[in-house]
Amino acid sequence: MHNIIIYIFPLLFTLIAIPAVSQSLFRNLSYGFSLERGKLIPGDEYGSDLIRSNGFGNYILNFTYRSDSLSATPYDRNFGYPGIEAGLIVADYSRSTLSHPRYNTLSHIGYIIGLYGKFNRDLFNTGMFRGGYSIANGIGYCTRPYSYPDNSGNEFIGTPFSIYFSAGVYAACRFHPHFEFITEAGFRHFSNSALGRPNKGANTVGVSVGLKYYPSADDIPVYKPYNKTDCHKKLYLDVSAGCNLHTMIETWYSHYANPTEVPVSFPVRPSFSASLSGMYRYHLKFSSGIGLDYIYAGYYAEASRIDTNRGVTGYSYSPHVLGISLKHEVHYRRIGFNVGFGYYLYRHLGEMGKIMAKPYYETIGLRYYIPSTPLYVSYHVLAHLLRADSMQFNIGVCI
């Protein structure tokens, strides 16, 4: 049950941007269906060795809210009246077969059934034709995660529940007031965000085609892609603290030579995390800045024990991790989309800590600003060269 709560938490952020139910909500809803075909792409060289045949498909049902001139906020006007989409995705990996080089048995990812929220922004719109980009986040359930010995080749998805991200570019033709043809090319990613092992992640690229239905449309509207809105520019401090959840890749590799000893589940190790950032809000939509990030990695003693058992020497161990990072936030109503790129000033977590982390790290996630307060709640994924290391849940304040 606790794992379900962990994965549902970020989905709530993606859906909360949808406005409260009202007449304008139903008036501005559209419904769609799309099909996608593409390929599974490995995240590293070893992942390529696991793929025997490659094919991927998606089946997507969705509904989209798009504000009009009566219901639009300054954010809607500034983003060019974006579409806020929620949907059901069935990712079909049945045409991709996998096999570990040491075994002869074939493995499969099967299907991943997901729920997602999506932000669609037009970069041009003529009424009949429009095009832009999309970003999505959600959760997924995999029907055939890694297991030994019957599915040992699936090192892409190691646990039933996953986090979902996607990004793409789309083009659409509104050939009738009620109907629109839409095609999109993009990247999709499912992984457990290091809340389990293995965790290579199922990455795909593909092209989709779909049809969208507008039940309340009387004519084809023309939206202005960009509408400048003034914003009070300001400097502020962003302070946050919370919990960092991590499973140790050392545990996975320490049993890798003898897969019969791989644990059924890997312990999720909580650590304290905190961040202090100086930010500049220079636009209604954007803030940027620089900050210090700290983690108390309580699993450092376990990293030392594993290295000692493997005969590894010459590394130091400390629970304190400190980094400095450049940060950027995109604001839409009460939702913030955050990315960061950082460099470790201090990190000593043994051999695998050095090999896997490198000196750099990235963060990506969402936050929700609580009404009538300066507080927010957030989650983000901490990664090293796009390889997930942990997930963080924080509460913060902007002052």
Residue 232's pLDDT is: 79
Let me know whether 180 and 266 are in one domain.
no
pLDDT attached to residue 17? 45
132 vs 227: CA distance, rounded Å: 16
Percent of the chain with pLDDT over 90: 68
Please give the average per-residue pLDDT across 132-148, as a whole number: 95
CATH code of the domain in which 241 resides: 2.40.160
How confident is the model at residue 12, as a pLDDT?
A: 47
pLDDT tens-digit map of 24-41: 567 789 999 999 999 999
Per the model's pLDDT, the better-predicted residue between 97 and 105 turns out to be 97
The domain in which residue 315 lies consists of: 234-398
**In this structure, is the dihedral angle defined by the CA atoms of residues 344, 296, 311 and 383, taken in order, positive or negative?**
negative
Say if residue 169 is in the same domain as residue 270: no
Asked if 159 and 257 sit in the same domain, the reply is no
**Cβ atoms of 199 and 192 closer than 8 Å:** yes
Same domain for 134 and 79 = yes
CA distance 89 to 87: 7
Q: Kindly state whether residue 229 falls inside one of the protein's structural domains.
A: no
Q: Show which of 150, 181, 213 is a domain's final residue.
A: 213
Mean pLDDT of 121-148: 94
Average of pLDDT values for 71-87?
91
Average pLDDT over residues 118-133: 94
What dihedral angle (degrees, nearest 10) is formed by the CA atoms of 20, 23, 25, 29?
150
Instruction: Return the pLDDT at 346.
Output: 96
Quote the pLDDT of residue 46. Answer: 80
244 in the same domain as 154? no
Task: Please state, in angstroms and as integers, the Cα–Cα distance from residue 228 to each residue in 224, 285, 320, following that order.
Answer: 11, 10, 44
Would you say residue 219 lies in a domain? no
203, 261: one domain: no
Q: What is the pLDDT of residues 273-290, one digit of tens each?
A: 999 999 999 999 999 999
Residue 265 has pLDDT above 50, yes or no: yes
pLDDT in tens, 42-62: 877 788 889 999 999 999 999
Q: Is residue 286 located within the same domain as residue 362?
A: yes
- Whether residue 239 lies inside any domain: the answer is yes
Q: Check pLDDT > 80 for residue 383.
A: yes
Q: Is residue 4 part of a domain?
A: no
The total number of structural domains in the chain stands at 2
Q: Are 152 and 260 part of one and the same domain? A: no
pLDDT at 357 over 60: yes
Same domain flag for 101 and 29: yes
Q: Are 340 and 360 in contact (CB under 8 A)?
A: no
Is 119 part of any domain?
A: yes
Asked, for residue 35, whether it belongs to a domain, the answer is: yes
Residue at 13 is within a domain: no
Tell whether 339 and 370 lie within a shared domain: yes
| 233 vs 279: CA distance, rounded Å | 11
Which of 13-22, 66-75, 166-175, 280-289 has the least mean pLDDT? 13-22
Sheet strands (E) in the chain: 29-41, 51-53, 56-66, 83-92, 97-98, 111-125, 129-142, 161-176, 179-191, 202-213, 234-246, 269-281, 286-296, 320-332, 335-346, 360-369, 375-384, 387-398
Residues 289-348: pLDDT tens digits? 999 999 999 999 999 999 998 888 999 999 999 999 999 999 999 999 999 999 999 999
Do 142 and 98 fall into the same domain?
A: yes
pTM of the model: 0.87
The per-residue pLDDT of the chain, averaged, comes to 89
Same domain, 184 and 329: no
| Residue 380, pLDDT above cutoff 60 | yes
In a domain, 338, yes or no: yes
